[in-house]
Amino acid sequence: MADFPDRSKNKIRIICSPTMLDLGKQVERAYPDHFAFAEVEWKAFPDGFPNLFIEDVHELRGKDVYFFSSLLDACEVFAQMAVMYSLPRYLVRSLTVVLPYFPTATMERIDKEGQVCTAMTLVRMLGAIPLTQSGAAKVMVYDIHTVQNRFYFGDSVIPLLVSAIPLFLDTLEKNHSHEEIAIAFPDAGARKRFGSFFSKYEVIVCSKIRKGDKREVRVVEGEPSNKHVFIVDDLVMSGGTLIECGKALKLQNASKLSIFVTHAIFPEGSWKKFTEKPHVFSKIYITDSVGRGEKGEGVGNFADEEPFHVIPLGESVGKNILSFCV
């Protein structure tokens, strides 16, 4: 673990939305001399609107504050934004929003008139955070869907874009170094985005090919035969693309199939198809980027189900915070 300047007398303050409490605790456990929690009461009035209270708020004055946020549930956006907007007014030295999963990043452009680019909407909301003593707020995001999203952020908020791929590489080295590994990307975009991380592995690229009225996934580059192939992408929604990619790789005689995605969304319980036996995928590595709430929010519903294996982000988040925080 890297050495960082002693902050025991001026610890960085962590505030967590309810779903991100587990991730915040990971960071504090990894670097106990550098971080301390600031508590928020997340309550609601009878009409449903938030009733929020930041405890011991005077202790935040002049401190570097990191707000751990999950905006996967649109109903939680208002309450979390209210706390973010209030912190600069309580004279925090700096404010960084740790938003591992940027939920509207897939709507960064429109294909026809009438569509709404919600990626820009969320950026505007974050950009409305008031200035702190040290200047503009920062937003830390892991493996944002398209790197071009960073240019939506104006001068009022600074994006810090980081990746969970190094954590996956450590997992490969630790758990699969005895196997013949290949890395598959479900499309050319994923290969362009993440290919440079995997220079020591054979790379396979899949693509959707139009066949009549249908589109099927085929292997267009690389040789998966007799290899343990890991399909790598930034996020999974229902998982249909990963399943079709797996079928194409199996037709090319891949000996074993696994997956790594940073953001496991799985709306409407779509993760369940991956737990049906026999398992098509040997391992499905995910992170806890969307949080892990006490009531099963985020990855809580399926984190302990085979073949899912959660790679915790906590130590990586803490390391990145301490690298950025001066």
In a domain, 110, yes or no: yes
In a domain, 302, yes or no: no
pLDDT score recorded for residue 164: 98
Whether 159 and 18 share a structural domain: yes
In a domain, 262, yes or no: yes
Q: What is the 3-state secondary structure (H, E, C) of the chain?
A: CCCCCCCCCCCEEEEECHHHHHHHHHHHHHCCCCEEECCEEEEECCCCCEEEEECCHHHHCCCEEEEECCCCCHHHHHHHHHHHHHHHHHCCCEEEEECCCCCCCCCCCCCCCCCCCHHHHHHHHHHCCCCECCECEEEEEECCCCHHHHHHCCCCEEEEEECCHHHHHHHHHHHCCCCCEEEEECCHHHHHHHHHHHCCCEEEEEEEEEECCEEEEEEEECCCECCEEEEEEEEECCCHHHHHHHHHHHHCCECEEEEEEEEECCHHHHHHHHCCCCCCCCCEEEECCCCECCCCCEHHHCCCCCCEEEECCHHHHHHHHHHHCC
Domain tally, the chain: 2
The CATH number assigned to the domain holding 279 equals 3.40.50.2020
In a domain, 32, yes or no: yes
What would the pLDDT profile of 250-306 be if each residue is shown by its tens digit? 999 999 999 999 999 998 889 999 999 999 999 999 999 999 876 666 888 898 999
In a domain, 277, yes or no: yes
Whether 187 and 144 share a structural domain: no
Domain span at 235: 165-288
Whether 133 and 25 share a structural domain: yes
Q: Give pLDDT < 50 ranges for the chain.
A: none
Whether 159 and 47 share a structural domain: yes
Whether 148 and 256 share a structural domain: no
Whether 23 and 141 share a structural domain: yes
In a domain, 25, yes or no: yes
Whether 223 and 97 share a structural domain: no
Whether 234 and 135 share a structural domain: no
Whether 169 and 156 share a structural domain: no
In a domain, 303, yes or no: no
pLDDT score recorded for residue 119: 81
What would the pLDDT profile of 160-196 be if each residue is shown by its tens digit? 999 999 999 999 999 999 999 999 999 988 999 999 9
pLDDT score recorded for residue 320: 95
Whether 139 and 183 share a structural domain: no
Whether 28 and 140 share a structural domain: yes
- Please give the model's pTM, rounded to 2 decimal places: 0.92
In a domain, 236, yes or no: yes
Whether 272 and 191 share a structural domain: yes
